Amino acid sequence: MNRFSYVRATDVAQAAREAGAPAAKIIAGGTNLVDLMKYDVERPGRLVDITRLPGLRAIEDAADGGLRIGALVTNTEVAYDRRVEARYPLLSSTILAGATPQLRNSATTGGNLLQRTRCYYFYDVGTPCNKREPGTGCPAIPGVNRIHAVLGASEHCIATHPSDMCVAMAALEAVVRVSGPGGERAIPFAEFHRLPGDAPERDTNLGRGEVVTAVELPARGFPAHYTYLKLRDRHSYAFALVSVAVGMEMDGGRIGEARFALGGVAHKPWRDPEAEAMLRGQAASRDLFERAAERTLRGAKGYGHNTFKIELARRAIVRALEQAAAGTPQSQVDKRIR
C-alpha cells in the first residue's frame, strides 16, 4: 500500500470537490478499496472519507411508494430493514447471498455499486490487465477464465461485475442518485454500469467528482414472486459463477410484469428486455422459461474454462423463473435449490 493523505469530508459538496482531484479516491466501508490498495491495484494519493457525511445513512419512504436507501447504509442494515424485507425481499435475499456477516456490516450500499471485478489478473499487479493498466492486454482471454464473462465482453476485457446486490437492483430498476460538480443527477440502474468495450478501465458512468448519495427503489418490489438463485464453488462466502435475480407479478397462472437479471456472467448485471418481454402476459411454463433463457443467452460466448457458464446460466434462469412463479424463493441458509 502506498502512502497517501487523508481528509474527512463534512458535507457532500466538499466530498465531491475533494474527490474531483485526479488521484483522490472516496472511502466509506473500505471493504473493497482497502483490499485493492493492499494489492497496489489502487494507489490513491488522497483518501476522502465520507463516512461522516450527514443524511446518507437513512432508509426513507419515498412519495411514490418507493424507498430511498442512503449511500452509507450498510448491507446488513438494508438486508434486515423491515421495509426492505417486506417490500423488496429480493434485495434482502441477494445481499445475504453475498460475502459474510462481517463484511456486510462494513460494506455500504454506495460502495457495493462500485465494487470492482474479481478477475485474477486485475488483482495481480504482476500480470498485464487492460482494466488496471489500459493497453497492456488481457491474459484472461487465453488464460484462466473460470470466473469470467460470457455475455457482453470485448476483445479487451472479459471481467465480470461481482456484486450480488446489484443484480437485484438491476431487476428492481433502481435509480442511482449522484451529486457532483454539475449538481445532482439520477442514473437509471441499467445505465450505471458499463460494458467493457474499448475502455474496460471504466466500470461505471459515474463522472469524476461525482458522489453516490442514494439508491432509489421504485414502488414495484415483487414481494410475492421473486427469487435469487446463486451458484458458486462453495456453499457460502464465494462469488457467483452464475446468479439469477427474478421479480415477477402473477395474475393467476399468467405472468404480469417480469424481470430477471444475471450476475457473474457479464461486466454488469445482465438484463435482456426481449427475453423479459417474452414472459409478460404468458402462462408460466417450463417451455416458456426455456425459450426466455435461450433468448437471453443467444449471444453468449465462452473462453474455455468459463464456457460451462452458458449452459449453467440457461438452467439457472429456468429454475429461478420457476421458483419465482411458484412463489418459492431460494433460501440463503438452507442451500437446497428447490
Partner 1 sequence: MSPIPNAETHVGSPRSRVDGRAKVTGAARYSGEFTAPDLAHGYVVNSTVAKGRITRLDTAAALAAPGVLEVFTHENRPRTAWFSYNYQDEVGPPGSPFRPLYDDKVVYSGQPIALVVAETFEAARGAASLVRVSYEAEAHETDLKNRMDEAYEPPKKRTGISPPPKPRGDARGAYADAPVKVSGDYWAAYEHHNPMEPHATTVVWEGGGKLLVHDKNQGVLNAQSYIASVFGLGKGDVRVVTPFVGGGFGSGLRPQYQLFLAVMAALELRRSVRVVLTRDQMFTHVYRPNTFQTVRLGANPDGALRSIQQHAIAGTSQFEDHQEVVVNWAGTLYHCDNVELTYKLAKLDTYTPGDMRAPGAPLGLFATESAMDELACATGVDPVEIRLRNYTEKDENENKNFTSKELRACYQVGAERFGWSKRNPEPRSMREGRELIGWGMASGAWEAQMMKTSARATLTADGKLEVACATADIGTGTYTILTQIGADAFGLRMEDVTTKLGDTTLPYSPVQGGSWTAASAGTAVQLACEAVREKLFKHARKASGSPLADVKLDAVSFADGRIEVTADPSRFVRIADAMRAGGVDRLEAEETAKPSMIDQLRYTGYTHSAIFVEVRVDEELGAVRVTRVVDAVAAGKILNPKTARSQVVGGIVWGIGMALEEETMPDHNLGRFMNHNYAEYHVPVNADVQGIEVVFVDEHDTKVSPIGVKGLGEIGIVGTAAAIANAIHHATGKRVRDMPITIDKVLG
Partner 2 sequence: MPDHPTGSDTLPLSLTVNGEARQLRVAPWTTLLDLLREDLGLIGTKKGCDHGQCGSCTVLLDGKRANACLVLAVVKEGSNVTTIEGLAGPGGALHPMQAAFVEHDAFQCGYCTPGQICSAVALVEEGRARTPDEIREHMSGNICRCGAYPNIVAAIEQVLAENAR
Binders of partner 1 among 227-266, rule CB under 8 A?
A: 231, 233-239, 241
Instruction: Give me the phi and psi of 216, to 5 degrees please.
Output: -105, 130
Binders of partner 2 among 276-335, rule CB under 8 A?
A: 332-334
Give the count of residues interacting with partner 1 (CB under 8 A).
41
When asked if residue 144 is in the footprint of partner 2 (CB under 8 A), the reply is: no
When asked if residue 17 is in the footprint of partner 2 (CB under 8 A), the reply is: no
Closest CA to 144 of 124, 114, 167, 164: 124
When asked if residue 287 is in the footprint of partner 1 (CB under 8 A), the reply is: no
Considering the complex, state which of residue 108 and residue 296 has its C-beta at the smaller distance from partner 2.
108
Among 16, 18, 19, 31, binds partner 2 (CB under 8 A): 31
Reduce the secondary structure of the chain to three states and give it as a string.
Answer: CCCCEEEECCCHHHHHHHHCCCCEEEECCCCCHHHHHHCCCCCCCEEEECCCCCCCCCEEECCCCCEEEECCCEHHHHHCCHHHHHHCHHHHHHHHHCCCHHHHHHCEHHHHHCCCCCCHHHHCCCCCCCCCCCCCCCCCCCCCCCCCCCCCCECCECCCCCCCHHHHHHHHCCEEEEEECCEEEEEEHHHHECCCCCCCCCCECCCCCCEEEEEEECCCCCCCEEEEEEECCCCCCCCCCEEEEEEEEEECCEEEEEEEEEECCCCCCEECHHHHHHHCCCECCHHHHHHHHHHHCCCCCCCCCCCHHHHHHHHHHHHHHHHHHHCCCCCCCCCCCC
When asked if residue 46 is in the footprint of partner 1 (CB under 8 A), the reply is: no
Considering the complex, state which of residue 124 and residue 201 has its C-beta at the smaller distance from partner 1.
124
Instruction: Give me the phi and psi of 36, to 5 degrees please.
Output: -70, -30
Span near partner 2 by CB under 8 A; candidates 27-35, 170-178, 214-222, 247-255: 27-35
Q: How far is the CB of 192 from partner 1 (least distance, A)?
A: 24
When asked if residue 86 is in the footprint of partner 2 (CB under 8 A), the reply is: no
When asked if residue 123 is in the footprint of partner 1 (CB under 8 A), the reply is: yes
Considering the complex, state which of residue 82 and residue 336 has its C-beta at the smaller distance from partner 1.
336
Residue span 108-137 as binding mask against partner 2, x where in contact by CB under 8 A, dash where not: ------------------------------
Query: Which residues are within 8 A (CB) of 84 and not within 5 positions of it... i.e. 6 or more apart?
Result: 59, 67, 69, 78, 91, 92
When asked if residue 5 is in the footprint of partner 1 (CB under 8 A), the reply is: no
Considering the complex, state which of residue 126 and residue 135 has its C-beta at the smaller distance from partner 1.
126
Q: How far is the CB of 319 from partner 1 (least distance, A)?
A: 6
* Chain mean position to CA 104: 14
Query: Which residues are within 8 A (CB) of 82 and not within 5 positions of it... i.e. 6 or more apart?
Result: none
Residue span 40-79 as binding mask against partner 2, x where in contact by CB under 8 A, dash where not: ---x-xxx-x-x------------------------x---
When asked if residue 194 is in the footprint of partner 1 (CB under 8 A), the reply is: no
34 contact choice in partner 1, partner 2, none (CB below 5 to 8 Å, kind-dependent): partner 2
Among 316, 317, 321, 325, binds partner 1 (CB under 8 A): 316
Q: Residue for cell digits 448519495?
A: 213
239 contact choice in partner 1, partner 2, none (CB below 5 to 8 Å, kind-dependent): partner 1
Span near partner 1 by CB under 8 A; candidates 36-44, 153-161, 249-257, 293-301: 36-44
Residues near partner 1 (CB under 8 A) are: 1-3, 38-40, 43, 118, 120-121, 123-124, 126-127, 139, 142-144, 146-147, 231, 233-239, 241, 305, 308, 311-312, 315-316, 318-319, 335-338
